[in-house]
Structure 1
Amino acid sequence: MRAAPTCPRCFGLLHPPSAWHSAWRCDAHGDVLPFQPPRHPSSTSVDLVRNNSVVPVWLPWPLPAGWLVTGFGEVGDERTGGRASVVALSGPSVTHGPADLVIIAEEPGIGLGAAFAGLDGPDPGVGFDEGPPNAKIDVLGHPTALWCVHGPADRAVYAGEAMGNWLWTIGWPAEAGCVIALAQLSLVDLRDLAPLDIPFGAFSPRLDT
C-alpha cells in the first residue's frame, strides 16, 4: 500500500507544501488536494473518513448479497477536510465471478472519479448526460440517474450527481456494470448514520493506485 499522498487526477507523486508554496503540487496538474493513502476496511476507518468528510461517504445499504466493504479513501487534508470520498467493495458479479466496485463522491474539479475511470478528467465530460440515463439507483430515498461514461474496456463507469457533488460508480471487470444497473443499489451517507454492523473483506487492490 502506498504511504504518501498522490495526485487525485493521475495518482502521481506530489510535492508537499513548503515555506514557499502552501499547496500540494503535481508536476502534471499543478496545485491539487492530496489523495491520501487508502484506509484498510475497519470500523476505525469508517469513523475517521466520515468524521473528516465534507462530501457524502456513500455506502450501498443493505449490501448486495455476498458483497463486502474492502477499503476507504479520501482527498484533502486536515485543513480542507475530505473533499472526495471513496468506498471500495468486492463481491460476486451477476455472471462473471468476482468483481470490484468503488463509489466516489467528490466536489467538481477534484478529478478522482475520472482518474479511477481511466479518463483525462477532471469530470465526466461535456454531453455525457445528454441521452436518457443508463441506470437509476436510490440515493437517500430518491431515484438518482446515472449515465454510462465510456473509458477503458476493462471497467464499467457510471456517473451522475447527488447532493451537489459528482457521484461515480466504477466496476471491474466491465461486466460488473450489471451489478450497478441491476442490483438496485440504495446508497446511504455514512456521515449521518449511527454505527452500522458493516461486513469487511480483504483490502481492495483497486485503492492501491
Structure 2
Amino acid sequence: MTVEVSCPRCGGSVREPDLMHTEWRCRRCGPVPPLHVPEHIGAEILASVVERVAAAAPGPAPGTPVWCPWPLPPGWTLTGLAYAGDERGGVRATALACAGPAPLGGGPADLVFVAEEPGVGLGTRLAGLAGPDPGPELAEALDEPGPGHPEHVGQARIKVAGHPTPLWLVNSPTDRSAYAGEARGLWLHAIAWPASAGHLLAEDVELHDLTQWMPPELVYGAPSPYLHGKA
C-alpha cells in the first residue's frame, strides 16, 4: 500500500522524528501529526487503515471516529481515506472522501468528512479557512440573524451515530461549501465540491463510524483529488 505523508495544515512535506526532535515537523507549520493518505482506496486498504485507527484508541475509550455516510446516497462511492497521527501521539484526525452525482444535477460532486482534535487543522485547510480550528467561524455563524432574515445562515442537520447533530455553514471559497460542528467531543467538518453539492446535507444523511462496523456493501471509486492536495 503506497501512502503519501504530508502536513495536515498546509499539505506540505514533513520531516520524520530524528535524534534532535521527537515529533514530525513541517517547515511552515512546525510540529504536526503527519497526514497519511493511501494512494488508492479499496476494501482491503480501507480495512487496514480503519484497523490502525481503531487500534490507536486509548484503552476502552472510543478513539477518533471514521465518519462515513451510510447508507451511501444513490450512485455514490468511497474515494479516499486519510488519518493524521503516529505511534507516539495516536490518531488525531481522520478524513473520508466520497463522490457521486451532484444533488442538483450538472455533473459529479465530492464530499469529505473530517473528525479531528482541536489544533490539527486538516478540516479547516480543506474548507479553505484560516487557522487550525473553525471556532471563530462558528462564533460568527452562531451570532448571525435567525430564520427569515436575509442574512440568515442555514444549518445542516444530519444524524451522527444515530444522534441529530447540527453543522453550521462557514465562510469558504466559492468553489466549495463547508460546514462545521462537533460530534463525540471532536470537530466535525463536512466539505462539498462544488458549492451546490452542499445541498446533499439537507437530505437524510446519516454518518456511521467505520471503526465500530464496516458495511460489506461499500462501493469504491477513483481516488479523491481533495485528499491528495487539490484543495
TM-score (norm 1): 0.93
Aligned position for 1:176: 197
Partner of 2:87 in structure 1?
A: 78
Q: Counterpart of 1:152?
A: 173
Alignment of 1:1-209 (within 5 A): 4-53=4-53, 54-95=63-104, 96-126=106-136, 127-131=139-143, 134-180=155-201, 182-209=202-229
What amino acid is aligned across from residue 26 of structure 1 in structure 2? C
Aligned residues between the structures: 207
| Counterparts of 2:92 and 2:205, CA distance in 1 | 23
Using the TM superposition, name which of 125-134 and 88-97 deviates more: 125-134
Q: Which runs of 5+ in 1 are unaligned?
A: none
1: CA distance, partners of 2:128 / 2:94: 17
Residue 141 of structure 1, CA deviation: 0.9
- Segments of 4+ moved more than 3 angstroms: none
d(CA) in 1 for partners of 2:91, 2:79: 19
CA distance in 1 between partners of 2:167 and 2:93 (Å) = 18
Q: How far is the alpha carbon of 1:148 from its aligned partner? A: 0.4
Q: Please, what is the CA RMSD of the aligned residues?
A: 1.7
Instruction: Decide whether the 8 Å contact of 1:39 with 1:73 is kept in 2.
Output: no
- Partners of 2:130 and 2:114 lie apart in 1 by 17
User: What is the distance in 2 between the residues matched to 1:44 and 1:161?
Assistant: 30
> Considering only CA atoms, is the larger Rg found in Structure 1 or Structure 2?
2
Note the C-alpha offset of 1:80. Answer: 2.7
Shift of 1:125: 3.0
* Whole-Å separation in 1 of the counterparts to 2:28 and 2:41: 31
Contact 1:60 1:185 in 2 (8 A): yes
- Contact (CA 8 Å) 2:4, 2:38: kept in 1 or not? no
User: Alignment partner of 1:47: what SS?
Assistant: helix
CA offsets, 1:47-74, max 9 Å, x none? 2222222300001000011111111111
Structure 1 residue 45: Cα displacement: 2.0
Q: Partner of 2:58 in structure 1?
A: none
Unaligned runs of 5+ in 2: 54-62, 147-153
Q: Is the partner of 1:188 in helix, strand or coil? A: strand
Is the contact made by 1:39 and 1:45 (CA closer than 8 Å) also made in structure 2? Answer: no
Is the CA contact 2:4–2:39 (under 8 Å) kept in the aligned structure 1?
Answer: no
Q: Provide the rounded CA distance (Å) in 1 between the counterparts of 2:3 and 2:69.
A: 28
SS state of the match for residue 33, structure 1?
Answer: coil
| Conserved 8 A contact 1:128-1:147 | no
| TM-score, normalising length: structure 2 | 0.84
